[in-house]
C-alpha cells in the first residue's frame, strides 16, 4: 500500500508510515546529524553521580533530543521525589526553553555540552562547569559498557515487545554490575 502511494501515485510518505524491515516492522530510522542513517530505536538514558542508569526510555520514531529534556526531568522528579541539583546533557538537548524550565524546577547548575546561538550554561562557577562537562564525557563509558558489556549493540530478540525487554534487562544487568562493584570496593 505504501509502495503504491509512493511509487505509483507519487505521494510523499512520512517516515512514521514507512516499513524499514520486513522482518522487524517496528524498526525506526534514526538520523544522527551528518552521520550515516541507522535503523533501530532511539533510547533515552538518564544517569546519576553513581553511574547507575536512573531512567531508560525506548522511543518511537526519531524525536529531537531537545523535546525529551523536560519530560526526563519530570520523570526523575516523579520516580525519585527529588529534583537534581545539577543537570548536564548532550548538545542535542540544548534550548533556551529547556534551560528556563530547569531553572524553574530549581536546578542550580545547567550545562549543555554544546551551546547553540546565544544560549549560555547556568553554573555557580567555571570550575563546576568544567567538572560537569568532564562528567558528561564519562557518561559515554556508561553507554559503551551498556552496549558492549550487556550486548545491547545489536538486539536479536524478535518483535518490539522483546526489543524493549532486552533493553530493560540490559539496564538491570548493568546496574547490578555497578552496585556489585561498589560493594566489592568497600570490602
Return the HEC string of 66-106: HHCHHHHHHHHHHHHCCCCCEEEECHHHCCHHHHHHHHHHC
Least confident of 10-19, 122-131, 165-174: 10-19
Decide if pLDDT at 53 tops 80. yes
pLDDT at residue 22 greater than cutoff 60: no
What whole-number distance in Å separates Cα of residue 122 and Cα of residue 69? 16
Phi, psi values for residue 114, rounded to 5°: -125, 125
Q: Quick check: helix, strand or coil at residue 165?
A: helix
The pTM (predicted TM-score) of the whole model is 0.75
What pLDDT does residue 139 have? Answer: 83
Q: Are 78 and 54 in contact (CB under 8 A)?
A: no
Amino acid at each position: 500500500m505504501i509502495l503504491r502511494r509512493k511509487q505509483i501515485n507519487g505521494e510523499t510518505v512520512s517516515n512514521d508510515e514507512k516499513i524499514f524491515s520486513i522482518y522487524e516492522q517496528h524498526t525506526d530510522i534514526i538520523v544522527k546529524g551528518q552521520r550515516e542513517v541507522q535503523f533501530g530505536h532511539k533510547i533515552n538514558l538518564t544517569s546519576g553521580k553513581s553511574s547507575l542508569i536512573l531512567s531508560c526510555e525506548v522511543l518511537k520514531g526519531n524525536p529531537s533530543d531537545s523535546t525529551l529534556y523536560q519530560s526526563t526531568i519530570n520523570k526523575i522528579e516523579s520516580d525519585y521525589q527529588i529534583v537534581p541539583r545539577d543537570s548536564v546533557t548532550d548538545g542535542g538537548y540544548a534550548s533556551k526553553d529547556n534551560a528556563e524550565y530547569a531553572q524553574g524546577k530549581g536546578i542550580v547548575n545547567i550545562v549543555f555540552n554544546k551551546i547553540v546561538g546565544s544560549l549560555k550554561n547556568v553554573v555557580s562557577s567555571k570550575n563546576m562547569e568544567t567538572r560537569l562537562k568532564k562528567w558528561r564525557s564519562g557518561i559515554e563509558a556508561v553507554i559503551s559498557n551498556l552496549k558492549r558489556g550487556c550486548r545491547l549493540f545489536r538486539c536479536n530478540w524478535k518483535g518490539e515487545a522483546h526489543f524493549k525487554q532486552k533493553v530493560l534487562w540490559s539496564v538491570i544487568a548493568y546496574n547490578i554490575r555497578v552496585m556489585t562493584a561498589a560493594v566489592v570496593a568497600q570490602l
